[in-house]
Chain A
Amino acid sequence: MKVFVLALSTSNYRSVIAALRTQDVDAIPLSVSQLKHLEDESLIIIPGVGNVSHLCEEISTHISISDLSKFIVSSGHYVVGICLGFQFMCKASFENISSKCLGLFPFEVKRIDKFQELPSVGWKKIEKCLPLDKSLSLKSSRWVKHLESNFFYFTHSYAVLDIPLTNDYEAYHYVMNKRSVIASIMSERYIGFQFHPEKSGRNGLLLLKHVVKSTQANFPKK
């Protein structure tokens, strides 16, 4: 299994690659135009810093968002989105509702607090909020222990908020002004991190390492 990081200008992809290297993971920078030519099952990391419309514009110059979404769904690739990259994996973002997103998670991204100009910045401790039945775990349980009750670094104005209670996803959140702000959500092949694991000190680096190792274990050895 190879690990790729999308080399988007609306991102800090070099920091993500450097972070993985500290954990002996050699991640390869990948341009959007190379994405659809990936043949082997891979782990693709979508980093993101900034504005969803800029990210969508950048990707759309190489491939339409709906084609990209279809490609990911029909491939066997695993996808990890970080911050804006995670928001791009969702259904839509109210940061710019006309910007098409991938729809890999059926949730909308909304402004955390419409009365608050300042973004939510800083370290937050996250707790499990889904599945509804907290004793359930998806296959990801091997690395999720690195999430529960740990602190991670966030910097965002928009987020997935108040997901309906379900057993279909595993999710972690922090609470701000009584609102549940999703910190991480995962399904069979997709993982989203609202925080920046590459900027969350030792905990973040360990998390990245174990996500990669755990994903690697899902692919049959060739």
Chain B
Amino acid sequence: MIRLIARVDIRNGYHIKTIKCEGVDKIRPIKSSIELFSSGIYEYDEIVLVDNVASLYGFNNWMLREGKHCYCPVPLSVGGAINNESQAKATLEIGADKIIINTGAIENPSILESISNCCGRQAVILQVDAKSYNGNYMCATHGSREISDISVREWLSMAYEFGVGEIHLTSVDSEGTSIRFSDELAEIAFSSSRLPIIISGGIRNASDILHFSKNYGANSFSLSSIPNIHNIDTKSLRHQLKDLDLHVRQT
């Protein structure tokens, strides 16, 4: 079944618009986006909060900074500079259902296993920011500002053994642009790991969802431009996908 996930990039308490993972404008307060995407005609299947600058400043993620329990009626995944077990547990206790790790895992892969052991595999999402570099797709860190020396193919092939539950893969080069998610990157991703992979960055409409579902078996899509730029509500998107013979939750 197709899973529709609302991608909410955040900074300083706001849901922000990004282009290639760089913030360019405020959209609305984070809490308003959580409410919007968890009810009514914009109800998504899940929400992910992506904090691309937390690791630059060494801040805790938004939820820990808020310090108050946050309730969301659909599964909520939260990331942002999580690099140890106690931060992961604290984030889950304060309302997240899953935690997202990127930079912390590349710098110290062993934290994935320790967090997975204490919190459960299903609660750990590996965030992979993919950037094209010298003809290869490499993993980017620190809000996609730095290129690591590990390729996307290599990193994804190790993810299962690290105890991760799923992967949130962003194509940085197409994120926030009008360019579609790369077929080459999709091919690399779906041939490298048997974990569920959520693809993000350049999924622009129902046809793109059909394309990646039919050609790569993708079933999870993290969407930002569809609700925030093209203003397509989720109910309408679900109808469009159903008309394309895709199996999707009806609300």
The one of B3, B92, B120, B251 that contacts A122, using a Cβ cutoff of 8 Å: B3
B74, A201: Cβ atoms closer than 8 Å:
yes
Q: Is B26 an interface residue (CB 8 A)?
A: no
Q: Which of A1-55 contact B (CB under 8 A)?
A: 12, 14-15, 18-19, 22, 49-51
- If A201-B74, A202-B43 touch, whether A119 touches B165 (CB-CB below 8 Å) is yes
- Contact: B74 with A153, CB < 8 Å? yes
Report the minimal beta-carbon distance from B163 to chain A, rounded to whole angstroms.
10
Would B71 and A14 count as touching, CB distance under 8 A? yes
A118-B195, A123-B45, A201-B39 known; A18-B69 Cβ under 8 A: yes
- Contact of A138 with B by CB under 8 A: no
Assess the A204–B73 pair: CB atoms within 8 A. yes
How many chain A residues touch B (CB < 8 A): the figure is 28
From A12, A49, A155, A199, contact of B74 by CB (8 A):
A199
Question: Given A118-B121, A201-B43, A123 and B3 touching (CB < 8 A)?
Answer: yes
Q: Does residue A170 face the partner (Cβ distance < 8 Å to B)?
A: no
CB closest residue in chain B, given A155: B122
Knowing A14-B95, A121-B165, A123-B249, say if A202 contacts B120 (CB, 8 Å): no
> What is the interface of chain A mostly: helix, strand, loop, or mixed?
mixed
**Complex alpha-carbon distance, A119 and B195, angstroms:** 11
Query: Chain A contacts of B109 at CB under 8 A?
Result: none
Contact assessment for B75 and A199 in the assembled complex, using a CB-CB cutoff below 8 Å: yes
Q: Chain B binding site: helix, strand, loop or mixed by DSSP?
A: loop
Complex Cα–Cα for A200 and B75 (A): 8
A14 to B93, CA, bound (A): 9
Contacts of B43 in A (CB 8 A): 201-202
Among candidates A123, A199, A201, residue contacting B97 with C-beta atoms closer than 8 Å? A199
Assess whether B73 is in contact with A19, with CB atoms less than 8 Å apart: yes
A122 to B1, CA, bound (A): 9
Instruction: Indicate if the CB atoms of A15 and B165 lie closer than 8 Å.
Output: no
**Complex alpha-carbon distance, A24 and B83, angstroms:** 38
Bound Cα distance from A198 to B153, whole angstroms: 36
| Minimum CB distance partner of A21 in chain B | B71
- Chain A residues closer than 8 Å to B95, beta-carbon distance: 14-15
CB of B249 within 8 A of CB of A151, answer: yes
Interface assignment of B171: CB less than 8 Å from any CB of chain A = no
Chain B contacts of A157 at CB under 8 A? 122
A198, B120: Cβ atoms under 8 Å? Answer: no
Q: Return the contact of B39 from the options A12, A121, A200, A202 (Cβ within 8 A).
A: A202
Q: Determine the chain A residues whose CB is within 8 A of the CB of B196 once the complex forms.
A: 118, 121
Provide the B114-133 mask, 1 if CB < 8 A to any CB of A, else 0. Answer: 00000011100000000000
Residues in A neighbouring B120, C-beta threshold 8 A: 49-51, 119
Instruction: Tell me the residues in window 38-86 of chain A with beta carbons closer than 8 Å to chain B beta carbons.
Output: 49-51
When distances are taken between beta carbons in the complex, the residues of chain B under 8 Å from A15 are: 69, 71, 95
In the complex, which of the residues A14, A201, A203 contacts B38, with contact meaning CB atoms closer than 8 Å? A201
Interface residues of A (CB under 8 A from B): 12, 14-15, 18-19, 22, 49-51, 117-119, 121-123, 125, 151, 153, 155, 157, 198-205
Interface pairs (20), CB distance under 8 Å: A12-B97, A14-B69, A15-B69, A18-B69, A118-B121, A118-B195, A118-B196, A119-B122, A122-B1, A153-B75, A155-B75, A199-B74, A199-B75, A199-B97, A201-B38, A201-B43, A201-B74, A201-B251, A202-B251, A205-B73
